[in-house]
Structure 1
Amino acid sequence: MIIFSRPFSRLILAAAIATLAGCSSDPTTDLADYVQQVKNQQRSAIEPLPEFKPYESFSYAATDLRDPFTVPAFSHQQAAVISDKPTSSGIKPDFERPTEPLEEFPLDSLRMVGTLEQMKNNWALINDTDGTIHRVQPGNYAGQNHGKITRITDFEVELTEIVPDGIGGWIERQASIAISE
Protein backbone atom coordinates (compact mmCIF):
# COMPACT_ATOMS: atom_id res chain seq x y z
CA MET A 1 0.00 0.00 0.00
CA ILE A 2 1.31 3.38 -0.98
CA ILE A 3 1.15 6.11 1.56
CA PHE A 4 0.86 9.63 0.22
CA SER A 5 2.27 12.49 2.12
CA ARG A 6 0.05 15.37 2.99
CA PRO A 7 1.69 17.96 0.68
CA PHE A 8 1.45 15.57 -2.27
CA SER A 9 -2.26 14.98 -1.60
CA ARG A 10 -2.92 18.67 -1.46
CA LEU A 11 -1.16 19.13 -4.79
CA ILE A 12 -3.35 16.51 -6.45
CA LEU A 13 -6.48 18.06 -4.93
CA ALA A 14 -5.51 21.54 -6.19
CA ALA A 15 -4.90 20.20 -9.71
CA ALA A 16 -8.29 18.46 -9.72
CA ILE A 17 -10.10 21.61 -8.59
CA ALA A 18 -8.34 23.73 -11.25
CA THR A 19 -9.29 21.22 -13.93
CA LEU A 20 -12.93 21.18 -12.86
CA ALA A 21 -13.02 24.98 -12.68
CA GLY A 22 -11.70 25.24 -16.25
CA CYS A 23 -14.45 22.98 -17.52
CA SER A 24 -17.24 24.86 -15.83
CA SER A 25 -17.43 27.86 -18.20
CA ASP A 26 -18.23 27.58 -21.93
CA PRO A 27 -15.30 29.10 -23.93
CA THR A 28 -17.36 29.28 -27.12
CA THR A 29 -19.93 31.78 -25.87
CA ASP A 30 -18.04 34.67 -27.50
CA LEU A 31 -17.97 32.80 -30.79
CA ALA A 32 -21.67 31.98 -30.60
CA ASP A 33 -22.49 35.65 -29.91
CA TYR A 34 -20.48 36.78 -32.96
CA VAL A 35 -22.10 34.21 -35.23
CA GLN A 36 -25.54 35.33 -34.08
CA GLN A 37 -24.62 39.00 -34.68
CA VAL A 38 -23.50 38.24 -38.25
CA LYS A 39 -26.69 36.27 -38.94
CA ASN A 40 -28.81 39.18 -37.74
CA GLN A 41 -27.21 41.68 -40.16
CA GLN A 42 -29.16 42.68 -43.24
CA ARG A 43 -28.16 40.79 -46.31
CA SER A 44 -27.26 42.80 -49.36
CA ALA A 45 -28.38 41.73 -52.80
CA ILE A 46 -25.77 40.10 -55.00
CA GLU A 47 -25.41 41.64 -58.43
CA PRO A 48 -26.10 39.25 -61.30
CA LEU A 49 -23.15 38.10 -63.40
CA PRO A 50 -22.54 40.20 -66.51
CA GLU A 51 -23.56 38.81 -69.89
CA PHE A 52 -20.55 37.56 -71.80
CA LYS A 53 -20.41 37.58 -75.57
CA PRO A 54 -19.87 34.09 -76.94
CA TYR A 55 -16.29 33.53 -78.06
CA GLU A 56 -15.88 32.90 -81.76
CA SER A 57 -12.68 31.06 -82.49
CA PHE A 58 -10.58 31.91 -85.53
CA SER A 59 -8.93 29.17 -87.49
CA TYR A 60 -5.76 30.28 -89.26
CA ALA A 61 -4.46 27.85 -91.85
CA ALA A 62 -1.24 29.11 -93.41
CA THR A 63 0.23 25.80 -94.45
CA ASP A 64 -0.66 26.34 -98.10
CA LEU A 65 0.46 29.97 -98.20
CA ARG A 66 3.85 31.42 -99.12
CA ASP A 67 6.32 32.19 -96.31
CA PRO A 68 6.10 35.99 -95.88
CA PHE A 69 9.78 36.26 -94.95
CA THR A 70 11.18 34.94 -98.24
CA VAL A 71 11.14 36.44 -101.69
CA PRO A 72 8.72 34.59 -103.97
CA ALA A 73 10.45 31.88 -105.94
CA PHE A 74 9.50 31.75 -109.60
CA SER A 75 10.16 28.91 -111.98
CA HIS A 76 12.14 29.75 -115.09
CA GLN A 77 8.97 29.66 -117.20
CA GLN A 78 7.10 32.00 -114.82
CA ALA A 79 10.07 34.35 -114.69
CA ALA A 80 10.21 34.46 -118.49
CA VAL A 81 6.52 35.38 -118.59
CA ILE A 82 7.02 38.16 -116.01
CA SER A 83 9.71 39.86 -118.03
CA ASP A 84 12.08 38.71 -120.69
CA LYS A 85 13.47 42.18 -121.21
CA PRO A 86 16.44 43.57 -119.33
CA THR A 87 15.88 46.49 -117.00
CA SER A 88 17.40 49.90 -117.61
CA SER A 89 20.52 48.63 -115.84
CA GLY A 90 20.72 45.67 -118.25
CA ILE A 91 20.22 43.01 -115.57
CA LYS A 92 18.26 39.91 -116.51
CA PRO A 93 18.70 36.19 -115.86
CA ASP A 94 20.02 33.92 -118.59
CA PHE A 95 17.11 31.56 -119.27
CA GLU A 96 19.03 29.79 -122.05
CA ARG A 97 21.80 28.32 -119.88
CA PRO A 98 21.37 24.79 -118.51
CA THR A 99 20.21 24.69 -114.89
CA GLU A 100 22.42 23.21 -112.19
CA PRO A 101 21.29 20.72 -109.49
CA LEU A 102 21.38 23.23 -106.61
CA GLU A 103 18.94 25.55 -108.43
CA GLU A 104 16.10 23.19 -107.50
CA PHE A 105 16.36 24.15 -103.82
CA PRO A 106 15.54 27.39 -102.00
CA LEU A 107 18.73 29.10 -100.87
CA ASP A 108 17.72 28.99 -97.20
CA SER A 109 17.45 25.18 -97.32
CA LEU A 110 21.07 24.73 -98.46
CA ARG A 111 23.83 24.27 -95.86
CA MET A 112 27.57 24.78 -96.28
CA VAL A 113 29.40 21.89 -94.62
CA GLY A 114 33.01 22.60 -95.56
CA THR A 115 35.60 23.71 -98.10
CA LEU A 116 38.26 22.07 -100.23
CA GLU A 117 41.39 23.64 -101.67
CA GLN A 118 43.71 22.12 -104.24
CA MET A 119 46.28 23.98 -106.31
CA LYS A 120 44.71 27.39 -105.57
CA ASN A 121 41.23 26.16 -106.54
CA ASN A 122 38.61 26.61 -103.82
CA TRP A 123 35.46 24.51 -103.62
CA ALA A 124 32.65 24.65 -101.12
CA LEU A 125 30.72 21.60 -100.01
CA ILE A 126 26.97 22.28 -99.98
CA ASN A 127 24.42 19.90 -98.43
CA ASP A 128 20.91 19.98 -99.95
CA THR A 129 17.63 18.89 -98.36
CA ASP A 130 17.94 15.42 -99.90
CA GLY A 131 21.20 14.87 -97.99
CA THR A 132 23.39 15.05 -101.10
CA ILE A 133 26.65 16.97 -100.79
CA HIS A 134 27.58 19.05 -103.85
CA ARG A 135 30.99 20.51 -104.68
CA VAL A 136 30.67 24.06 -106.04
CA GLN A 137 33.08 26.78 -107.11
CA PRO A 138 32.76 30.42 -108.17
CA GLY A 139 30.66 30.61 -111.32
CA ASN A 140 28.25 27.83 -110.30
CA TYR A 141 24.59 28.60 -109.59
CA ALA A 142 22.55 27.79 -106.45
CA GLY A 143 19.08 28.65 -105.16
CA GLN A 144 15.88 29.37 -107.02
CA ASN A 145 16.65 33.05 -107.67
CA HIS A 146 19.44 32.64 -110.25
CA GLY A 147 22.11 32.87 -107.53
CA LYS A 148 25.61 32.89 -109.03
CA ILE A 149 28.43 31.98 -106.65
CA THR A 150 30.92 34.85 -106.63
CA ARG A 151 33.27 34.03 -103.76
CA ILE A 152 34.09 31.15 -101.42
CA THR A 153 35.72 31.66 -98.01
CA ASP A 154 36.35 29.23 -95.17
CA PHE A 155 33.14 30.34 -93.48
CA GLU A 156 30.64 31.20 -96.23
CA VAL A 157 29.69 31.10 -99.89
CA GLU A 158 28.77 34.50 -101.33
CA LEU A 159 26.22 34.70 -104.16
CA THR A 160 24.65 37.35 -106.34
CA GLU A 161 20.98 36.61 -106.98
CA ILE A 162 18.85 38.14 -109.74
CA VAL A 163 15.32 38.63 -108.43
CA PRO A 164 12.21 40.32 -109.85
CA ASP A 165 11.84 43.92 -108.68
CA GLY A 166 8.03 43.73 -108.65
CA ILE A 167 7.50 46.13 -111.55
CA GLY A 168 8.53 43.90 -114.42
CA GLY A 169 12.29 44.25 -114.11
CA TRP A 170 15.17 42.58 -112.31
CA ILE A 171 17.58 43.58 -109.55
CA GLU A 172 20.70 42.04 -108.11
CA ARG A 173 20.77 41.03 -104.46
CA GLN A 174 23.70 39.76 -102.41
CA ALA A 175 23.19 36.55 -100.42
CA SER A 176 25.35 34.04 -98.62
CA ILE A 177 25.34 30.52 -97.26
CA ALA A 178 27.20 30.33 -93.95
CA ILE A 179 28.96 27.21 -92.74
CA SER A 180 26.85 25.00 -90.47
CA GLU A 181 28.06 24.22 -86.99
Structure 2
Amino acid sequence: MSRTAIAMTAAMLAATLLAGCDSDEREVRDWMAEVQRDTKPTVKPLAEPKDFIPYAYGAKGETDPFSPNKLMTELAKADVASADPNKPDLQRTRELLETFPLDTMHMVGTMAKGGASYALVQIDRSLYQVKPGQRIGQNFGVVTRVSDDAVNIREVVQDAAGEWVERMATLELQSKETGK
Protein backbone atom coordinates (compact mmCIF):
# COMPACT_ATOMS: atom_id res chain seq x y z
CA MET A 1 0.00 0.00 0.00
CA SER A 2 1.22 3.41 -0.87
CA ARG A 3 1.37 6.37 1.40
CA THR A 4 -1.47 8.11 -0.29
CA ALA A 5 -3.69 5.05 0.04
CA ILE A 6 -2.92 4.84 3.77
CA ALA A 7 -3.64 8.55 4.20
CA MET A 8 -6.96 8.20 2.37
CA THR A 9 -7.98 5.22 4.48
CA ALA A 10 -7.12 7.09 7.68
CA ALA A 11 -9.14 10.14 6.58
CA MET A 12 -12.21 8.01 5.81
CA LEU A 13 -11.95 6.22 9.14
CA ALA A 14 -11.73 9.57 10.98
CA ALA A 15 -14.79 10.92 9.15
CA THR A 16 -16.78 7.80 10.04
CA LEU A 17 -15.85 8.10 13.70
CA LEU A 18 -16.78 11.78 13.82
CA ALA A 19 -20.12 11.07 12.24
CA GLY A 20 -20.79 8.47 14.96
CA CYS A 21 -19.88 10.94 17.71
CA ASP A 22 -22.42 13.43 16.48
CA SER A 23 -25.28 10.95 16.87
CA ASP A 24 -24.11 9.95 20.38
CA GLU A 25 -23.96 13.61 21.45
CA ARG A 26 -27.49 14.17 20.15
CA GLU A 27 -28.78 11.17 22.12
CA VAL A 28 -27.17 12.46 25.33
CA ARG A 29 -28.64 15.95 24.86
CA ASP A 30 -32.12 14.52 24.21
CA TRP A 31 -31.87 12.33 27.34
CA MET A 32 -30.79 15.30 29.50
CA ALA A 33 -33.69 17.42 28.21
CA GLU A 34 -36.16 14.62 28.97
CA VAL A 35 -34.82 14.10 32.53
CA GLN A 36 -34.94 17.85 33.17
CA ARG A 37 -38.59 18.02 32.00
CA ASP A 38 -39.68 15.03 34.09
CA THR A 39 -37.85 15.94 37.30
CA LYS A 40 -39.79 18.04 39.76
CA PRO A 41 -37.69 19.20 42.74
CA THR A 42 -39.24 18.74 46.17
CA VAL A 43 -38.20 20.93 49.10
CA LYS A 44 -39.26 20.09 52.61
CA PRO A 45 -40.86 23.07 54.34
CA LEU A 46 -38.83 24.65 57.12
CA ALA A 47 -40.00 24.23 60.68
CA GLU A 48 -41.56 27.23 62.37
CA PRO A 49 -39.03 29.15 64.51
CA LYS A 50 -39.36 28.70 68.25
CA ASP A 51 -40.49 31.68 70.27
CA PHE A 52 -37.62 33.29 72.18
CA ILE A 53 -38.41 33.91 75.82
CA PRO A 54 -35.80 36.17 77.44
CA TYR A 55 -34.49 35.16 80.87
CA ALA A 56 -34.62 37.82 83.54
CA TYR A 57 -31.47 37.75 85.72
CA GLY A 58 -32.70 38.28 89.25
CA ALA A 59 -29.39 38.58 91.08
CA LYS A 60 -28.42 42.10 90.04
CA GLY A 61 -27.61 43.22 93.57
CA GLU A 62 -25.71 40.01 94.44
CA THR A 63 -21.93 39.60 94.32
CA ASP A 64 -20.63 38.54 90.93
CA PRO A 65 -19.31 34.95 91.30
CA PHE A 66 -16.53 35.69 88.79
CA SER A 67 -15.36 38.90 90.43
CA PRO A 68 -11.59 39.08 91.08
CA ASN A 69 -12.34 40.92 94.34
CA LYS A 70 -14.33 37.94 95.62
CA LEU A 71 -11.50 35.58 94.71
CA MET A 72 -8.92 37.78 96.47
CA THR A 73 -11.11 37.98 99.57
CA GLU A 74 -11.49 34.20 99.72
CA LEU A 75 -7.75 33.66 99.19
CA ALA A 76 -6.95 36.15 101.96
CA LYS A 77 -9.33 34.32 104.34
CA ALA A 78 -7.74 30.98 103.49
CA ASP A 79 -4.26 32.47 103.92
CA VAL A 80 -5.06 33.80 107.39
CA ALA A 81 -6.60 30.47 108.43
CA SER A 82 -3.60 28.54 107.09
CA ALA A 83 -1.19 27.12 109.67
CA ASP A 84 1.62 26.53 107.16
CA PRO A 85 4.91 26.26 109.09
CA ASN A 86 6.91 27.45 106.05
CA LYS A 87 4.86 30.61 105.55
CA PRO A 88 7.16 33.63 105.89
CA ASP A 89 6.31 36.71 107.93
CA LEU A 90 5.00 39.02 105.25
CA GLN A 91 4.56 41.95 107.66
CA ARG A 92 8.20 42.31 108.75
CA THR A 93 10.47 44.98 107.31
CA ARG A 94 12.77 43.67 104.60
CA GLU A 95 16.54 43.90 104.91
CA LEU A 96 18.76 45.55 102.29
CA LEU A 97 19.99 42.32 100.67
CA GLU A 98 16.40 41.11 100.24
CA THR A 99 15.87 43.68 97.50
CA PHE A 100 18.29 41.93 95.13
CA PRO A 101 17.70 38.60 93.31
CA LEU A 102 20.26 35.86 94.02
CA ASP A 103 21.40 35.69 90.40
CA THR A 104 22.83 39.23 90.67
CA MET A 105 25.00 38.26 93.67
CA HIS A 106 28.52 36.84 93.47
CA MET A 107 30.52 35.42 96.37
CA VAL A 108 34.04 36.83 96.04
CA GLY A 109 35.64 35.72 99.32
CA THR A 110 35.35 35.08 103.07
CA MET A 111 36.64 36.70 106.22
CA ALA A 112 36.59 36.04 109.97
CA LYS A 113 35.65 38.81 112.36
CA GLY A 114 35.13 38.37 116.09
CA GLY A 115 35.16 34.58 115.79
CA ALA A 116 32.37 34.56 113.16
CA SER A 117 32.73 33.68 109.47
CA TYR A 118 31.46 36.17 106.94
CA ALA A 119 31.10 35.78 103.19
CA LEU A 120 31.89 38.71 100.95
CA VAL A 121 29.12 39.10 98.40
CA GLN A 122 29.38 41.50 95.48
CA ILE A 123 26.29 43.08 93.93
CA ASP A 124 27.09 45.35 91.00
CA ARG A 125 30.10 47.30 92.33
CA SER A 126 29.19 47.12 96.03
CA LEU A 127 30.58 44.59 98.52
CA TYR A 128 28.53 43.23 101.45
CA GLN A 129 29.35 41.05 104.47
CA VAL A 130 26.96 38.13 104.92
CA LYS A 131 26.73 35.86 107.98
CA PRO A 132 24.53 32.91 108.99
CA GLY A 133 21.00 33.91 109.99
CA GLN A 134 21.01 36.99 107.76
CA ARG A 135 18.18 37.51 105.24
CA ILE A 136 19.17 37.53 101.56
CA GLY A 137 17.45 37.37 98.15
CA GLN A 138 13.91 38.11 97.05
CA ASN A 139 12.48 34.69 97.99
CA PHE A 140 12.58 35.04 101.79
CA GLY A 141 16.08 33.54 101.88
CA VAL A 142 18.07 32.97 105.09
CA VAL A 143 21.80 32.23 105.11
CA THR A 144 22.22 28.83 106.79
CA ARG A 145 25.97 28.35 106.44
CA VAL A 146 29.07 30.23 105.30
CA SER A 147 32.07 28.14 104.22
CA ASP A 148 35.30 29.05 102.44
CA ASP A 149 33.84 28.25 99.02
CA ALA A 150 30.04 28.72 99.28
CA VAL A 151 27.10 30.37 101.02
CA ASN A 152 24.13 28.05 101.64
CA ILE A 153 20.70 29.69 101.60
CA ARG A 154 17.26 28.32 102.51
CA GLU A 155 14.52 30.03 100.50
CA VAL A 156 10.75 29.82 100.94
CA VAL A 157 8.62 30.07 97.78
CA GLN A 158 5.03 29.34 96.80
CA ASP A 159 4.37 26.37 94.55
CA ALA A 160 1.65 26.20 91.90
CA ALA A 161 -0.96 25.24 94.51
CA GLY A 162 -0.12 28.27 96.68
CA GLU A 163 1.65 26.22 99.37
CA TRP A 164 4.88 27.57 100.87
CA VAL A 165 7.81 25.19 100.24
CA GLU A 166 11.48 25.33 101.13
CA ARG A 167 14.26 25.10 98.57
CA MET A 168 17.99 25.34 98.95
CA ALA A 169 20.23 27.71 96.99
CA THR A 170 23.98 28.20 96.95
CA LEU A 171 26.26 31.10 96.09
CA GLU A 172 29.62 29.62 95.14
CA LEU A 173 32.98 31.36 95.31
CA GLN A 174 33.77 33.01 91.97
CA SER A 175 37.32 32.35 90.80
CA LYS A 176 39.32 35.10 89.08
CA GLU A 177 40.94 32.72 86.55
CA THR A 178 37.67 31.59 84.95
CA GLY A 179 36.00 35.00 85.15
CA LYS A 180 32.89 33.54 86.73
**TM-score w.r.t. length of structure 1:** 0.50
Counterpart position of 1:118: 113
> Measured at CA, do residues 168 and 139 of structure 1 come closer, stay the same or move farther in structure 2, by a change above 3 Å?
same
Structure 1 portions without partners, runs of 5+:
1-79
Higher normalized contact order (CA 8 Å, seq sep 6+, divided by chain length): 1
Aligned counterparts, 1:61-140, within 5 A:
84-85=79-80, 90-129=85-124, 131-140=125-134
Q: Contact conserved, 1:102 with 1:128, CA < 8 A, in 2?
A: no
Measured after TM superposition, the shift of residue 115 of structure 1 is 0.8
Q: Summarize the Cα distance change of 1:150–1:172 in structure 2 as closer, same or farther, 3 Å threshold.
A: same
Structure 2 portions without partners, runs of 5+: 1-74, 176-180
Task: Return structure 1 stretches of 4+ with deviation > 3 angstroms.
Answer: 83-89
C-alpha deviation, 1:143, in angstroms: 1.0
CA-to-partner distance for each residue in 1:77-122, whole Å, 9 max, x for gaps? Answer: xxx97x8458665211111222111111111110011111123211
CA distance, structure 1, for counterparts of residue 81 and residue 149 of structure 2: 34
SS of match in other structure, 2:97: helix
User: Does structure 2 conserve the Cα–Cα contact (< 8 Å) formed by 1:137 and 1:152?
Assistant: yes
Q: Which has the higher helix share?
A: 2
TM-aligned CA distance change 1:149 to 1:92, over 3 Å: same
Percent identical among aligned pairs is 37
- The Cα RMSD (Å) is 2.2
SS in structure 2 at match of 1:111: strand
Are 2:170 and 1:172 aligned?
no
Paired residue total = 100
